[in-house]
Chains A and B, each alone.
Chain A
Amino acid sequence: MRRRLAIAALMATTVVSSAYAQQQTAKLSAMSLEDLLNIEVTSVSKTEQKLSQTASAIYVITQEDIQRSGATNIPDLLRMVPGMDVGQINASSWAISARGLNELYSHELLVMVDGRTVYTPTSGGVYWDVVDVPLEDIERIEVIRGPGGSVWGANAVNGVVNIITKTAAETRGAMVVAGGGNLDQGFGTLQYGGSAGQSTNYRVYSKYFNQGQLPSATEANGADGWRFLRGGFRSDTNLSTKNSLSFQGDLYLGREGLFAKSLPSVTMPSLVQSPEAGNLTGGSLQMVWKHTYSARSDTTLQISYDQYRRDHILAERRGTIGIDFAHHLLWGERQNVVWGVGYRYSASESDGSLSYFLVPANLNIQLFSSFVEDEIAVVRNRLYVTPGAKVEHNYYSGFGIMPSIRAVWLPSAHQTVWAAASRALRTPAENDAAGRVTFGGFTAADGMPVLVGIVGNPKLADESFATYELGYRTRLSDRLSVDLAAYYTEGDHQETSEPVAPFFEALPAPAHLVLAQENENLMYGEAHGLEVFATWKVSRRLTLSPGYAFERIHEHLDPSSQDTTSVAAAEGSSPVNSAQLRLHLSLPRGLAWDTYAYFVGRISDPVVPSYTRLDTGLTWQAGERLSFSIFGQNLLKNERLEYVDASQSTAFTLMKRSAYAKIRWVL
């Protein structure tokens, strides 16, 4: 009954708003020229225009979206992107992918902060717990669903997330953010931005948060509380009209808890779960030099260094140096070319434990890459075709080529039709090629200890994916825009686990038998899906943004495969249906009310029932410098299961209802 009422009310809204449009034009035609000059209008920015003409399934999270969302971390922000799969496993672990194949440390998604890739070669995935910047400093987050391999390289199979921070010139002055609640027990950012000389701007910040424990399935406290202290800086210098130089870096120190699973010894090979807390430290430093030769040609050189240390499970240390060069030029009348080369060197050490270690434990790997992309104006302002390709050489699987061709057709100023065909690769990570996972074991009849697990395969090949996409965007009016993308992907040489002959191992003592499975490339499959979202500025005060995504994956095994788990895992790691509705309402006196509702369908492997998450909050902008907000998160259901790590290496906890209050003061 109430639902019917709700629908009736929504319909009434539509009627009211269209009647209102009539009234509005009547008012406009009676206005004088002076009045018209003073009217403020809603308009579409140049960036929005450019993004609306992109030949890929792009979604941009703006700073405004970030403020409105009430999210306190980057994974929660990504929930608003239709087609993204965001599953929180415990307080500090997430499984994040786009278009399926989700898991903890999902390796089909490429994540960058200001162009610096942050995935780890250990798993090919992202340690989301350490991907953080003050959210107020983010200019925008560009999310591309679907392959981006021809520019971004391996692992950009299912999507690319690029977190772009504001330049130092945009964050001058001091800023204080402080808040706390029942789950986010305390958080705050202190920042100061200033200028040195005429051409240099800088900012320095420190950020802290302390998040409480979530309940586990059996206990009120899941032992997954965590806290982080982070400090960083960015400086931007205009050396001349043709050269600009920017430096940025950060250092972090954190401690996070979890229920760790471990094997006490070879003779007691049953997994024991115990709460433990580990320290995480790390940092990064990067330099970007942009040189403009002319309005038609410019180059970018980016050098970055990233280091981390994680005390959990594997106990690993890693340092990575990356150098990337790109040259952009307008060639002739119709061509817009970008080409570049890149090099990465990564050195790692790990202690490992009986339940998980790497062979070899210490490894230095190199990655070479080059790419070229050419946007050709076949018919200017109407039809553009962009062929491109990236060639990479990596430590395990050698050379790989990732070509793509994209086309965009602009039938009118308000419509964009795009299509793309691309091949993307997922290269083996150290975990796939050199990992040793032990699930458990037993003592054989003759007293011989036996361990059961997975051994990495250094001869593993690339997984390859061919994707065909079609998209349509339209701005039906200045108030309503709709974006639609559909895709079909064929995956080949996907990873499976195949039994190998049992072998004896002397170390760790005593000598024991290993019943193992090895990683192989014996699965192939198809995926198809659809993502649609709209932004409807119902009135000056009210904006509604609904979104919906559908995805379905079918996997098949090569006849020679004896794998029993990979098909179900790949098919069922993400929901078939997901939907969302965002509502922003700006009220008089600087008040704003934001509500985010997310529906996520059932996940079948491991099973997670469908759920709806609801966040809502009120923000009061008290003048230009001060704002107060209160947010409630996950309000519908307390102690809700959101995602389970299939490998069971990270214990899950349950999401709980939470609320916090925040103050933001810009001086």
Chain B
Amino acid sequence: MGSVRPRPRRLLFALALRTAGWFLFALAAGVLFCAIGAAQSDQPSEYEVKAAFLFNFTKFVEWPDGSFDGPHAPIVIGIIGDDPFGDSLTRIVAGQQVQGRSVVIRKERFGEDLRRCHVLFISASERQRSAQILAGLRDASVLTVSDIDGFAEAGGSMQFVMQENRVRFLVNLDAATQSKLRVSAKLLALAQVVNHGQAAR
């Protein structure tokens, strides 16, 4: 006896397997739907937005004559230190024209000639050296940008700050003027202006 009857344990096992299979399927389907749904209205990351700002700054700053090698020479955005942007900055500037010029991204290293940049983003990894970098660029027409705390007060041109998960920026007008950069009124209207050595808190 015994071998003809279906064994309830087997049945239970098969049932459990089937349940698990359905669950995995439902999970994956759910994930897929949500990813597609989310693609309609997604939140970009902090550095994707900062990358978009960096690109936008080039539209609202005028460099003095002689900053470019020729009428069609590109605008150079340099990044010094660890690049927090991934490939988002490269993707944002790809194929874009500003004042009839293309925009290129260059990775810079400490000790190299940073004066060939038009915009220089100083990564948070360069916190210790930021004062040295700024000193080296005194009187050079480079728009210095960073998100290091106190960067604008310390003589940087522009500083990103985060407020309630939104990206804001500070402009140190003295620093920009000293670099012979003309910052457009539109940009200033949207910025929090900081004077050299004293923040407008």
Contacts and interface: CB of A to CB of B under 8 A. Distances in A.
Contacts of A22: 91
A43 B84 CA distance: 12
Contact of B45 (A2, A42, A538, A542): A42
A6 B43 contact: no
B31 A7 contact: no
A593 B92 CA distance: 34
Nearest to B26: A6
A103 to B, nearest CB: 29
User: Which applies to chain A's interface (DSSP): helix, strand, loop or mixed?
Assistant: mixed
B88 A25 contact: yes
B128 interface: yes
A20 interface: yes
B24 interface: yes
Contacts of A540: 38, 41-43
B105 interface: no
B23 A40 contact: no
A33 B165 contact: no
B110 to A, nearest CB: 14
Nearest to A581: B27
B127 A381 contact: yes
B92 A5 contact: no
A414 B46 CA distance: 14
B123 A479 contact: no
Interface string A11-53: 0110011001011111011011110111111111000000000
Contacts of A585: 30, 34
B96 A29 contact: yes
A593 B27 CA distance: 11
B35 A13 contact: yes
B125 A413 contact: yes
A41 B38 contact: no
B46 A29 contact: no
> Which size class do B's interface residues fall under?
35 or more
Interface string B65-95: 0000000000000000010101010011100
B43 to A, nearest CB: 4
* Chain B interface main SS type: helix
A391 to B, nearest CB: 37
A3 B93 contact: no
B20 interface: yes
Nearest to B30: A585
Interface string B152-183: 00000000001011111000000000000000
Interface in A611-665: 612, 614, 636-637
Contacts of B123: 413
A583 interface: yes
Interface string B26-70: 011111101111110111111111011101100010000000000
A362 interface: no
Given A12-B32, A477-B86, A28 B27 contact: no
B201 interface: no
A16 B36 CA distance: 7
16 contacts: A2-B25, A3-B25, A6-B25, A6-B27, A9-B32, A12-B32, A13-B35, A24-B42, A24-B48, A26-B91, A28-B48, A29-B92, A36-B53, A37-B190, A43-B46, A636-B19
Interface of B: 16, 19-25, 27-32, 34-39, 41-49, 51-53, 55-56, 60, 82, 84, 86, 88, 91-93, 96, 123-125, 127-128, 162, 164-168, 186-187, 190
Given A9-B31, A39-B49, A583-B27, 18 more contacts: A3-B24, A5-B25, A13-B28, A29-B52, A29-B92, A33-B53, A37-B167, A37-B190, A40-B164, A41-B166, A380-B128, A381-B125, A413-B123, A538-B34, A538-B38, A540-B43, A612-B20, A637-B16
